[in-house]
Amino acid sequence: MRSSPKRLPALLLGTALIASVLGIGTVASAANSDSSAPTTSTAAASTHTGHVMAASTKASGDDPDGDGYIPAVPPVTGVTPSDRTPPPAYFHEFQANCSATHTAPDDPIVYPGQFGKSHDHTFMGNKSTNAASTTASLYGGATACKAPADASAYWMPSLFKGDQKILPVGPQTIYYKSGVTDYTSVRPFPKGLRFVVGNPMQSAQEFRAHKGFVEGWECGDSFFNTDIPASCPSRPDVQLNLRMQAPSCWDGKYLDTPDHKSHMSYTVVKPGTNDNMCPASHPVALPMIEFKMAWPVNGDMSQVRLASGRGYSFHYDFFNAWEERTLKALVDHCVVGGLQCDARGYDETKPQRGAVLNADYRLP
């Protein structure tokens, strides 16, 4: 393994080794990272065989030595978390509208190169995503996102009603927002960054307390559910919805770490204020991804479940493969610019500001 002063604590690595020997999984977070990610016990893991969050232990195209650390080249250094309060802007976001492309029991972040190792996932965006996906294989690939420059891979556990797999219909809303108060400090994702949001092993209480929890499972007038509701109104306009936010502060050093979380952190509150800023350990402010998913299912929901288990096992993955110029243009115009943009980078309430992309969703 690489010699690095920024590795995960020895306790975490030791726990992962024990879990490997026992045939179970473990999730733990390094200090100042995603502290809402729970640590699983042996008993809990044994009840979710096949759904544990494993540490990377296998060589892959992006991680040839298989230690789970993928360094950023070059790293981002010399950044101090911004604690300034910019001019008020209620919105600072744009949308990446991406449709579901396929499903497979693969996970190129958690189980790189291990086909069929994961529970079933529904993939959005890049059409080629599979267990062997790397930055190089995704970048520039065919995509089901409206912007052809977004070849990123987005995925989540598949949803079932009984034995029927229910796929989201049409472009799903994936927001790119500012997670920090100083939205002018947000910069684009580095090429190849990847992370997991949430944990298939989490309990209902841990899901509700997760820093990325927004409104839980929704349908009709029912909100803030930690599990999938037992029933939803049987109306054409009712779907099952879920929103969940990702951490948006990066350590500037690694594109991935063995637990797929420790290189990222949620924001912290500036003392004496209500302002959000990045912690010193993760000083680089990146866009905050928010999944807003909708599944076409309603009525009797008693047989609706996720491939990973109960509704509170929901989690999702992101693997960045944006074309750099396009992502920077959208971030600068919409996030840093304090706008509420659609997938073209256009804010209909401020038409005078123009759009980033043309009618074909490409840079002019």
Q: How far is CA 313 from CA 43, 48, 131, 159, in A?
A: 16, 10, 21, 11
Say whether 124 sits in a helix, a strand or coil: strand
205 falls within a domain: yes
Q: Which amino acid is at 364?
A: P
159 falls within a domain: yes
- Separation CA 260–CA 109 (nearest Å): 7
Please say whether the beta carbons of 100 and 123 come within 8 A: yes
Number of domains in the chain: 1
206 falls within a domain: yes
pLDDT of residue 33: 40
pLDDT of residue 25: 32
- Separation CA 232–CA 30 (nearest Å): 39
**Residue 328 φ then ψ, to 5°:** -60, -40
pLDDT of residue 271: 93
Give the pairing of strands 315-319 and 194-198: antiparallel
133 falls within a domain: yes
Per-residue pLDDT of the chain (364 residues; tens, 9 = 90+): 333 333 333 333 333 332 332 232 322 333 334 433 333 332 233 233 333 455 656 788 899 999 999 999 999 999 999 999 999 999 999 999 999 999 999 999 999 999 999 999 999 999 999 999 999 999 999 999 999 999 999 999 999 999 999 999 999 999 999 999 999 999 999 999 999 999 999 999 999 999 999 999 999 999 999 999 999 999 999 999 999 999 999 999 999 999 999 999 999 999 999 999 999 999 999 999 999 999 999 999 999 999 999 999 999 999 999 999 999 999 999 999 999 999 999 999 999 999 999 999 999 9
- Separation CA 84–CA 82 (nearest Å): 6
- Separation CA 126–CA 227 (nearest Å): 29
- Separation CA 178–CA 86 (nearest Å): 12
Domain span at residue 273?
10-353
360 falls within a domain: no
295 falls within a domain: yes
361 falls within a domain: no
pLDDT of residue 60: 82
268 falls within a domain: yes
- Separation CA 255–CA 236 (nearest Å): 42
- Separation CA 281–CA 271 (nearest Å): 16
